[in-house]
Homo-oligomer: A and B are copies of this chain.
Amino acid sequence: MTKPRRILFVTGTRADFGKLEPLALAARDAGHHVAFFVTGMHMLPAYGLTKVEVHRVPGVDVVEFLNHREGDPQDVIFAKTVIGFSDHLRVEPPDLVVIHGDRVEAMATALVCATNYVRCAHIEGGEVSGTIDEVFRHCNTKLAHSHLVSSLTARRRVLAMGESADCVHVIGSPELDTHSAPSGVTLEAVRARYDIPFDSYGIVIFHPVTSEAETMGQQAADLFGVLEVSGQSFVVIRPNNDPGVDAIQEVIASLPPARFRVLPSMRFSHFSELLRNAAAIIGNSSTGVREAPFLGTPSLDIGTRQTNRALSASVHQAAAADHASIAAFLQDDWGKRHPPSQEFGAGRSADNFLAVLADPDFWTRPLQKHFMEGDA
């Protein structure tokens, strides 16, 4: 039986909370004292005040910290988070801080852990995105004491950066845990609830890419043009509200409703059931490169948004303007089933996380780090 520990999870967005929650629940159920440090976008009404979702988790403590106002630059947010988290650590020192990903809140809290010698584990290190966030992510790798990565590729990068192999654990991507369990709903129930008349359908999710905002309208016109010509039917999930979104929405508005069912969003369990039964998923959501391969559904990844983020055989790639490749995918891969990809784990990251925590060595490894030279 594992000794109970005080584990503090840092969450700044609904997205990272989705990744941390399965791990936190598992830790709680294994007898650890679990708390969330809730900050960032969670605290702002403009983003839906999603801190309430954290408060709904039973059996855990919740600490709120408002770390910015609208308009604050990232370095100011960083500094305020450092002060607030450092004050909190003095008041309630945990045995372990768990951070996730690549946002400024994660790096600020990792820095506080490093300078105060508080053990810190980083989820999903070693991934790439090509934005400023990627820099934060790699700094988190250098600041954190343990690395709970999602894939062997990520592990390789973390090791290259000089981390010690016994501190890097491939636990898989936590959001796959939910997909690995039965969804709890039938496909018929999903189709009924969301008014989806099609027997065979693809799913389309096409978000704007901020640095390509001015071409998103043309990209959407290209992509949806080929889809329309194909004669197939599609469930379209509306894009994120980032620069360039209006031009995409305009294209979506012009699609024939008989073959394009457009939805703003879906319940998670229903979406999971829809995805595992889809003939294909098309667009630039991470769902296409991470969840779909795990469920065996073929993906067509469009454009640059997921570049270098996945390697599964079920994922094809095309530019939006590459009508021929898109058409070929719809022709050749529609409805194919692939063996489940375990590139990002087997949907057991919570179990893997518990196994890491259960190892007494995890808690006694030195907090002073050394650069490990790779094999030449």
Contacts and interface: CB of A to CB of B under 8 A. Distances in A.
A92 interface: yes
A73 interface: yes
B368 A132 contact: yes
A88 B66 contact: yes
A138 B162 contact: yes
For the residues of A in contact with B, the DSSP-based class is helix
A179 to B, nearest CB: 27
Given A135-B114, A138-B162, A76 B83 contact: yes
User: What's the number of copies of this chain in the assembled complex?
Assistant: 4
A134 interface: yes
A82 B205 CA distance: 38
A10 to B, nearest CB: 15
Interface string A53-70: 000000000011111111
A84 interface: yes
Contact of A86 (B76, B82, B143, B369): B76
A92 B161 CA distance: 34
Given A78-B82, A138-B162, A143-B139, A45 B91 contact: yes
Interface in A162-197: 162
A79 interface: yes
A66 B39 CA distance: 13
Contact of A161 (B45, B74, B160): B160
A374 B159 CA distance: 11
Contacts of A321: none
B162 A374 contact: no
A328 B368 CA distance: 34
Given A78-B111, A115-B74, A370-B128, A91 B134 contact: no
B128 A371 contact: yes
A75 interface: yes
A135 B142 contact: yes
A65 B70 CA distance: 18
A73 B112 CA distance: 10
